[in-house]
Amino acid sequence: MSVNPLLENWSTPHEAPPFDRIRPEHFRAAYDRALILHRAEIAQIAASGEPASFDNTIAALERSGKLLMRVESVFSNLASADTNDELQEIERELAPVLARHWNEIYLDAGLFARIDDLFARPEALGLDTEEMRVLERIHLDFVRAGAKLAANDKAELSKLTEELAGLGVQFGQNVLADEQNYILSLTRDDLAGLPESAIAAARETATERGLEGYAVTTSRSSAEPFLQFAERRDLREKVFKAWTARGDNGNAYDNNALIAETAKLRVRRAQLMGYPTFAHFRLADTMAKTPETARKLLDKVWGPARARAMEERNALQALVAEEGGNFTLAAWDWRFYAEKLRKARYDLDEGEIQPYLQLSKMIEAAFYTAHLLFGLDFAERHDVPVYHSDVRVWDVTRKGAHVGLFYGDYFARPSKRGGAWMSSFRDQERLDGDVTPLIVNVCNFPKAAPGEPALLSFDEARTLFHEFGHALHGLLSNVRFPRLSGTNVARDFVELPSQIFEHWLEEPAILERFAVHAATDQPMPKALLEKLVAARNFNQGFHTVEFLASAFVDLDFHALSNAENVDAHEFERAALARIGMPDEIAMRHRSAHFQHVFAGDGYSAGYYSYLWSEVLDADGFKAFKETGDAFDPATAQRLYEFVYSAGGTRDFAEAYRLFRGREPGIDALLEGRGLKAA
């Protein structure tokens, strides 16, 4: 093989990945080398003849595995954002290999004995606050990975984690395959009701798939606009059923058996660790601590949300009747009639808003907000290699000093999994000198026709701000140890930086400056801006119910103490029946394509965390409002110091109290969703 760029020193700007030289065939050799090197580093730490010290054990662990982290960060991002058959084959092959590698480290008795020795005598070590925190977190990582188990239980746990890793990869690949396999070819007449931006996106989708005319797929960015605007009820039904059936089509990509096996193995894994259910195991290291506490929050919001959704349903059914419709409102009708009702009540429709929400301007708006709050500046670069021509890169500075690089990958394509996320090619740390972060946001916005500006819905603009909030969490990180860097925080705290940042999108100072018409460059008229703000809580019952349903089902799956022979279909149906799920609303993520939960452990038993973090973000943004200035410098400084820059350096409840000055309350969340009076 020619020289492998993954194994070289990178001479690119800020040592960014040389994507112009990296090929799929480089990864196996790079992984092989990285794993061998990491094993040697770990063996040296574990077998040291010197007594355990913070530097020769904890700091040494933090210094180990640099090459593996480099290779893994590049590969995992490509496997999610721009995959192909070769990368998917490598992903399937490596999932159990990597799981086995980490098992061997976490279950190494000699290594853990050194860590445990340090953990047992912290006062004698003379550690500062951050050193103490990283010792605590690493010790807990090992304990939660099974370091204290008996030898036979360690062997079983290793086997379970390898199997679960393979199941997660297969689940995600199945969802992507189902999305790639479905396309609905349409004529211009089939698109009656759609705004021009959605029509252009459908034309671009057809072109990308080698078709004439127009097309819709089951990616959210394609399906949702069609469901919202298309007048053809039969086509809305067809698209909706295909969209909600991803991973549930009884074909080679059906995920129901994988869900059942995953649930069973997770129960066994939790019970090996001494917990009654997987939910108890997962939540033990979160702010919520227990599934009962998480469920209590969901229950508290479910009643008002369902009541509001029923009011919304009745209003939509009345609108159907007014128009002479002789049918009962169905799930594929909700978005269409909700858009009509919003138009009637607020004289506002999405087609009127979209021309003012240019993607390029919304990116600028996010950057400007970050500048006002945290003093960041962004300058686009064209000399940094990228993995796809759609990707853009910005140099991020603060008071003239380099902070990191930010990559934006915004458009949907067949090689990208659905959804939106933030990840990194390198995390910030200061263990041996300043290491600056390389942060990426990946979204799935519809791509405009060549030469035309990409336009967003208001929800898509909110997604952009949300993911950029995560990006700021990575960019602003200012810690010494990799284990505590950026987003390495509790699952129900990690959404605070992203969700609180969403609030600034709705600030008049931002919309007045950046919501300008794509054709005329004129700012959004004040009357339209006022209507947009007035309608912010419209349809919130629907949005809250579709989210909560997914959160309840997630918790229910993982609250099982016996998951033998789980029928995923029946389990989902029964879980929704228990909460009284309205027939006219579908889960935001049905189980068979619930990648947050089943394509790895990421949000398993933790989808509730978006709502938990919303309690924090709604209450936290209120701190700005109470000053009378949404960009209040003193409040922004506390937000920076205790949330965005602090990573995992302190207890997360304490971090929030230091920012806010008190415990959070739920009232701001209910008020923000317009549910308080329901």
Among the listed residues 91, 460, 467, 502, the single catalytic one is 467
Element (H or E) spanning 380, and its range? strand 376-381
What SS3 class is residue 625?
helix
Residue whose entry in the numeric block shows the structure tokens 């605590």:
136
Q: How far is CA 528 from CA 111, 210, 242, 427, 515, in A?
A: 63, 39, 35, 41, 11
Termini Cα distance of the chain: 66
Q: How far is CA 554 from CA 180, 258, 281, 568, in A?
A: 26, 15, 14, 11
Q: Is 358 in contact with 454 (CB distance < 8 Å)?
A: yes
Among the listed residues 100, 118, 97, the one whose alpha carbon sits nearest the alpha carbon of residue 108: 100
What SS3 class is residue 260?
helix
Q: Is 655 in contact with 140 (CB distance < 8 Å)?
A: no
Q: Which amino acid, residue 79?
A: A
Among the listed residues 259, 313, 310, 188, the one whose alpha carbon sits nearest the alpha carbon of residue 597: 259
Among the listed residues 661, 565, 580, the one whose alpha carbon sits nearest the alpha carbon of residue 620: 661
- DSSP conformation class of 650: S
User: Could you confirm whether 467 is annotated as catalytic?
Assistant: yes
DSSP for 560-603, written as a single string: -S--TT--HHHHHHHHHHHHT--TT---SS-GGG-HHHHSSSTT
Q: Is 99 in contact with 55 (CB distance < 8 Å)?
A: no
What SS3 class is residue 405?
strand
Euclidean distance between CA atoms 350 and 560, whole angstroms? 42
Tell me the sheet residues that pair with 424: 439
Euclidean distance between CA atoms 451 and 203, whole angstroms? 14
Among the listed residues 428, 412, 429, the one whose alpha carbon sits nearest the alpha carbon of residue 420: 412
Residue whose entry in the numeric block shows the structure tokens 């009509």:
340
Enzyme catalytic residues = 467
